[in-house]
């Protein structure tokens, strides 16, 4: 059967400091983020990957490259896997956003499926674009593990959509720390969540890092 491995990229300065970082910012991984990518490649590299897909942002490509370069795998880039667009909130702290965009922030907190960050994307928009990528993968790969390297909000929204969870609850129902992997099998009864936000491939010091 088809099994999707949703891998969140390794640490960046923005995930470490808990600042908003969506598709409008393109930071590199930190040294710790690169170590997270290498740890995943070390533990999962020998799997018979049928495909590897990633968002076009540097932090996801760099995470995926640790696996692809070590094991000579092709990497396919899809815009639909990009992180949520945070618009005018990009790079800001939560306190700054709550102060400067208070009403938009309150609406977004209440239901991010239908309320966007100021100048950004609604959750429903992300669900549509990431859903198109998943449908493409399902059409091309009926068997074998496929790796999808993406971002915190995008992975959580994808999982909500697949599992029948209200997309508006993606921030409150599913965890997705940096470097974690969530596994979904597609069987005769539909998607089955096998693992959520697993970081067991990471050394303890990387699992204990501050941030989101």
Task: Report domain extents, the chain.
Answer: 2-207
Mean per-residue pLDDT, 16-29: 98
Counts for the chain of helices (H) and strands (E), in that order:
9, 6
Summarised one tens digit per residue, pLDDT across range 56-75 is 999 999 999 999 999 999 99
Give the mean pLDDT of 7-34. 98
pLDDT tier, 36 (very low <50, low <70, confident <90, very high otherwise): very high
Query: What does the block give as tokens for 172?
Result: 């409150």
Q: Output the six-digit token pair for 46.
A: 């020998």
Q: What is the pLDDT of residue 212?
A: 92
Q: Which long-range contacts (CB under 8 A, 24 or more apart) does 163-172 make?
A: 163/191, 163/193, 166/113, 167/113, 167/123, 167/124, 167/127, 168/111, 168/112, 168/113, 168/114, 168/123, 170/112, 170/113, 170/123, 171/112
Share of the chain above pLDDT 70, in %: 100
CATH topology (fold) of 2-207? Rossmann fold (3.40.50)
The count of other CB atoms within 10 Å of the CB of residue 185 is 16
pTM, two decimal places: 0.98
């Amino acid at each position: 059967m088809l099994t999707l491995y949703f891998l969140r990229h390794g640490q960046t300065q923005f995930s470490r400091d808990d600042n908003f970082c969506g598709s409008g910012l393109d930071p590199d991984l930190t040294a710790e983020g690169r170590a997270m990518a290498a740890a995943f490649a070390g533990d999962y590299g020998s799997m018979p990957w049928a495909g590897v897909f990633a968002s076009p942002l540097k932090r996801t490509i760099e995470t995926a490259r640790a696996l692809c370069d070590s094991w000579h795998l092709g990497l396919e880039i899809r815009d639909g896997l990009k992180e949520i667009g945070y618009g005018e909130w990009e790079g800001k702290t939560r306190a700054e956003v709550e102060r400067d965009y208070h009403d938009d922030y309150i609406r977004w907190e209440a239901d991010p499926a239908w309320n966007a960050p100021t100048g950004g994307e609604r959750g429903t928009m992300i669900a549509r674009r990431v859903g198109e990528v998943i449908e493409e993968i399902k059409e091309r790969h009926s068997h074998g593990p496929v790796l999808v390297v993406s971002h915190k909000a995008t992975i959580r929204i994808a999982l909500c959509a697949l599992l029948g969870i209200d997309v508006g609850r993606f921030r409150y129902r599913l965890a997705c720390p940096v470097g974690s992997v969530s596994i979904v099998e597609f069987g005769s009864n539909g998607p089955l969540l096998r693992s959520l936000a697993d970081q067991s491939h990471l050394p303890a010091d990387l699992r204990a890092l501050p941030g989101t």
